[in-house]
Amino acid sequence: MSDTLLAPADDALRVQRSALAAAYHERSKHRLERYANGPETLDWDAQPDPFRRYRGAPLQPLPLLAQDPATPWDALHRPGAVAAQPFSLASLGALFELSLALAAWKQAGPDRWSVRINPSSGNLHPTEGWLLCQGVPGLADGVHHYAPHEHALELRAALPASPAPTSPRVFVAQSSIAWREAWKYGERALRYCLLDAGHAAGALAYAAALQGWQLQPCPVAAADLAAWLGLDRDMDFPGGAECEEPELLFELRPPDTAAAPLPGDWLSQPLWQGQANRLDAHPMYRWPVIDQTLEATRPTAGAATAEAPLPQATTVPPQAAPEPAASLIRRRRSAQRFDAQARLDRTALWPLLQALLPGRLPFSALPEADHVHVLLFAHRVDGLAPGAYLLPRSEAGATLLRRQLPVSLDWAPVAEAPADLPLWRLAANPALAGTLRTLNCHQALGSDAILGLALLAEFQPLPTPWAYRERLMEAGLLGQALYLQAEAMSLAGTGIGCFFDDALHQLIGLTPTAAPQAALQSVYHFTIGRALTDSRIATTAPYAHLPAWPERLADTSRSPA
């Protein structure tokens, strides 16, 4: 992997790279007359392996929870309400089990597939999880790759015996394997990888909160993260094994504790073990623009000190939701179909929207996650006229939206909304459902939902090239909050990555002015409604394929076949 470090002052290069990101976004738009470039044929029998493994790396099984934490969903959002657990094999096992693990197996006829706690476009799961630790009882110091099928850690890099730190150092990281998405979606796939990465970060933030920890973002240069995860070791990706893109690093921190030194300070003389498996033996297409855009948008050395994370809001959560958070996390599924008659009372809408305000869990997982705003389409909300509404998520965003959207819109504040919800009615329109079906790639989910959302990202100019990634990941965080909040309301959500970008922009009058693109871009759509279940699909437990814990422990030293 190559990465060019930019001097912070090299503004011209940054501008050029930001323009490359914007150009990628433009070219990966679906248009009513033409979908973005993608494969013309798919060989469904030759799907890439859904599980990355590092053959030769020793496997450390993680215990499965005997009982889920009882913490109610609302308490999860109250800083300090959950006592911090000590770092251990069990507590870190719980972190992964409630964020990136398998959630169930599904079967329909001869087809059998797994679904995970975190959602993913097309269920293709480009996001890989990592643990970097030192001084955790029961765990080897070093770099571990999380293997969701085994619910186990592969020790990718062991550290030679070194003095134990005074308190454990625990970091989690994410990488993406773009080919997993590109295999099916072609050029638009990079967007889905970034949205998925945001969902995964959100899933980790909720699971960390259940252990009483904060997921503290650590902005670092991509080249450093690649080196710490061993992703730049070409010799460990032999025979065409697909590369992984470094995405995010977090420190897991109990509240009121000091930051640990970054892994670069203590990952000394790592002993690398294992080689990546090849996921797709016969890739039929190449989409070079994805690699070019990844290269252009890698955070550089200057990123490390660029931004401080938002503090977590200390306000009480918007709604009494007594159900255990872990139950919502486990049962979250994307709706495949909605009941087109279902309705919602507007008083139930307010907590849903309040859950999207910045500064709350999970938005503290990204620095400055307040650059994506919510355009809401209310179809069947009692007490709210059908139509389009706007929820800016920052003062600056409100000003930008006001400047960019036509003055001819209603711009009527929704007086019934709670004081902390700056909700504006843009246009009443009782016949919007059909339009939204069309806009969402003709998917019935668009018209049958109670609510549709389009997430509008501040886009031009992008302040840094990697802000492109941050905008899409922020949208993914919003999506994760929407999925779980919908479950808390006994509804269901579905993320919608397939939509006709500029048709949506035109609908609300967001048209390019002097710049080649509108200053705001819809980067992700979402639908919420009452799910109809498909009784032909059977569901079974996620880890019935694993032996019981004592036998799994006997496997500790065994590496994958």
Ligand X SMILES: Cc1cc2nc3c(=O)[nH]c(=O)nc-3n(C[C@H](O)[C@H](O)[C@H](O)COP(=O)(O)O)c2cc1C
Least distance (Å) from ligand X to the CB of residue 126? 10
Give the residue, chosen from 334, 429, 435, 559, that forms a contact with ligand X under the rule CB under 6 A.
334
- Residue among 388, 477, 496, 504 that touches ligand X (CB under 6 A): 496
In the block, tokens 């029998």 appear at 45
- Of the pair 121, 134, the CB lying nearest ligand X is at 121
Question: Is the CB of 52 or the CB of 116 nearer to ligand X?
Answer: 116
Chain positions 518 to 547 lying near ligand X, rule: CB under 6 A, are: none
Q: Whose Cβ is closer to ligand X: residue 170's or residue 195's? A: 195
Subset of 4-33 contacting ligand X (CB under 6 A): none
Q: Which whole-number Å values give the CA distances from 466 to 172, 220, 221, 297, in the listed order? A: 20, 11, 10, 4
Which of 10/339 has CB closer to ligand X?
A: 339
Of the candidates 466, 455, 470, 393, the residue with the CA atom closest to the CA atom of residue 197: 470
Q: How far apart are CA 351 and CA 489, in angstroms?
A: 9
Pair 389, 346: CB distance under 8 Å: no
- In whole angstroms, how close is the CB of 104 to ligand X at the nearest point? 9
Q: Is residue 517 close enough to count as binding ligand X by CB under 6 A?
A: no
Q: Please state the closest distance from residue 259 (CB atom) to ligand X, in A.
A: 31
In this chain, which stretch among 68-76, 190-198, 224-232, 401-409 interacts with ligand X, using CB under 6 A? Answer: 190-198
Check residue 192 for interaction with ligand X (CB under 6 A). yes
In the bound state with ligand X, the residue whose beta carbon lies nearer, of 142 and 479, is 479
**Residue from 374, 359, 379, 485 nearest 424 by CA:** 374
200 — phi, psi (to 5°)? -65, -40
Q: How far is CA 444 from the centre of its chain?
A: 24
Size of the residue set binding ligand X (CB under 6 A): 20
Choose between 171 and 192: whose C-beta lies nearer to ligand X. Answer: 192
Given 53, 169, 333, 530, the residue binding ligand X (CB under 6 A) = 333
Q: How far apart are the first and last CA of the chain?
A: 27
Stretch that binds ligand X, among 253-261, 284-292, 495-503, 535-543 (CB under 6 A): 495-503
Among positions 431-490, residues that touch ligand X (CB under 6 A) are: 443, 445
Alpha helices for 140-232 (secondary structure H): 178-185, 189-210, 222-229
Shortest spacing between CB 440 and ligand X, in angstroms: 7
172 and 225 Cβ atoms separated by less than 8 Å: no
Residue 240 burial (CB < 10 Å; 0-12/13-18/19+)? exposed
Task: Measure the CA–CA gap between 436 and 561, rounded to whole angstroms.
Answer: 48
495 vs 542 by CB, closer to ligand X: 495
Residue closer to ligand X by CB (options 36, 313) is: 36
Please identify which residue in 58, 148, 422, 497 interacts with ligand X, judged by CB under 6 A.
497
Closest contact distance (angstroms) between CB of 250 and ligand X is 20
Minimum distance from residue 479 beta carbon to ligand X (Å): 6
Cβ proximity to ligand X: between 89 and 441 the closer is 441
**One-letter-per-residue 3-state SS of 95-112:** HHHCCCCEEEEEEECCEE
- Least distance (Å) from ligand X to the CB of residue 482? 11
Among 216, 225, 220, CA closest to 302? 220
Helix (H) or strand (E) holding 450: none
| Residue 61 near ligand X by CB under 6 A | no
Specify the stretch interacting with ligand X by CB under 6 A; choose among 37-45, 149-157, 203-211, 492-500.
492-500
Minimum CB distance to ligand X smaller for 103 or for 231 = 103
Nearer to ligand X, 275 or 521 (CB): 521
Pick between residue 90 and residue 290 the one whose CB is nearest to ligand X. Answer: 290
Quick one: which of 334, 526, 333, 512 has its CA closest to 440?
A: 526
Spatial distance between the Cα atoms of 208 and 430, rounded to a whole number of angstroms:
42
Q: What is the pattern of x (binds ligand X, CB under 6 A) and - over residues 86-125? A: -----------------------------xx--xxxxx--
DSSP code of residue 412: E
Residues 6+ apart with CB under 8 A from 520: 373, 400, 401, 404, 456, 457, 458, 459, 510
Q: What is the rounded distance in angstroms from the CA atom of residue 15 to the CA atom of residue 62? A: 45
Q: Does 174 bind ligand X (CB under 6 A)?
A: no
Closer residue to ligand X in complex, CB, 107/123: 123
Minimum CB separation from ligand X for residue 15, in Å?
28
What is the C-alpha separation between 409 and 223, in angstroms, rounded? Answer: 46
| Cβ 111 to ligand X shortest distance, Å | 13
Interface with ligand X, residue 319, by CB under 6 A:
no
Question: Sign of dihedral through CA atoms 204, 372, 125, 233?
Answer: negative
When the beta carbons of 121 and 312 are compared against ligand X, the nearer one is 121
Q: What crossing angle do the helices spanning 288-296 and 11-27 adopt, rounded to 10°?
A: 150
| Strands of the 538-540 sheet, one edge to the other | 111-116, 102-108, 538-540
Is residue 176 involved in binding ligand X (CB under 6 A)?
Answer: no
Task: Report the length, in residues, of the chain.
Answer: 561
Least Cβ distance, residue 445 to ligand X (angstroms): 6
Q: Give the torsion sign (CA, 242, 101, 120, 374).
A: negative
Smallest distance, ligand X to C-beta of residue 437, A: 12
Smallest gap from residue 476 Cβ to ligand X (A): 7
User: Dihedrals φ, ψ of 111, to 5°?
Assistant: -90, 130
Residue 494 CB, nearest approach to ligand X (Å): 5
Among 150, 187, 196, 368, binds ligand X (CB under 6 A): 196
Binding site for ligand X (CB under 6 A): 115-116, 119-123, 192, 195-196, 199, 333-334, 443, 445, 494-498
